[in-house]
Amino acid sequence: MPTQPITLYGFKLSGHCHRVELFLNLAQLPYRYVEVNLRSGEQKKPEFLEMNRFGQVPVIEDDGVTIADSNAILVYLASRYAPDWYPQDGMLRARLQRWFSITAGPLAFGAATARWINVSGSKADPTSAIERANSLFTVMNTELNALLFLVSDKPSLADIAMYTYTAHAPEGNISLEPFPNVQAWVARIEALPRFVPMLQSQPRQ
Give the pLDDT score at 205.
Answer: 41
What percentage of residues in the chain have a pLDDT greater than 70?
A: 98
pLDDT band at 33 (very low <50, low <70, confident <90, very high): very high
State the pLDDT at residue 171.
Answer: 95
The CATH architecture assigned to 6-84 reads: 3-Layer(aba) Sandwich (3.40)
Judged by DSSP in three states, 65 sits in strand
Give the pLDDT confidence score for residue 51 in this predicted structure: 94
Judge whether residue 204 has pLDDT over 50: no
185-201 pLDDT per residue, tens: 999 999 999 999 998 76
Task: Give the model confidence (pLDDT) of 137-157 as tens digits.
Answer: 999 999 999 999 999 999 999
Per domain, the residue ranges of the chain are 6-84, 87-190
How much is the pLDDT for 199? 80
Contact between 11 and 38 (Cβ < 8 Å)? yes
Choice among 71-80, 132-141, 191-200 with the minimum mean pLDDT = 191-200
Task: Please report which confidence band the pLDDT of residue 56 belongs to, taking 50, 70 and 90 as the band edges.
Answer: very high
Q: Which residues contact 183 (CB under 8 A, 6 or more apart)?
A: 176, 177
Model's pTM, two decimal places?
0.94
How would you classify residue 186: left for phi > 0, otherwise alpha for psi between -120 and 50, otherwise beta?
Answer: alpha
Classify 60 as helix, strand or coil. Answer: strand
Average pLDDT across the chain, whole number: 95
DSSP summary character for residue 110 = I
Does domain 87-190 bear CATH number 1.20.1050.10?
yes
Return the SS3 of 35: strand
Q: Is 192 exposed, middle or buried (0-12, 13-18, 19+ CB in 10 A)?
A: middle
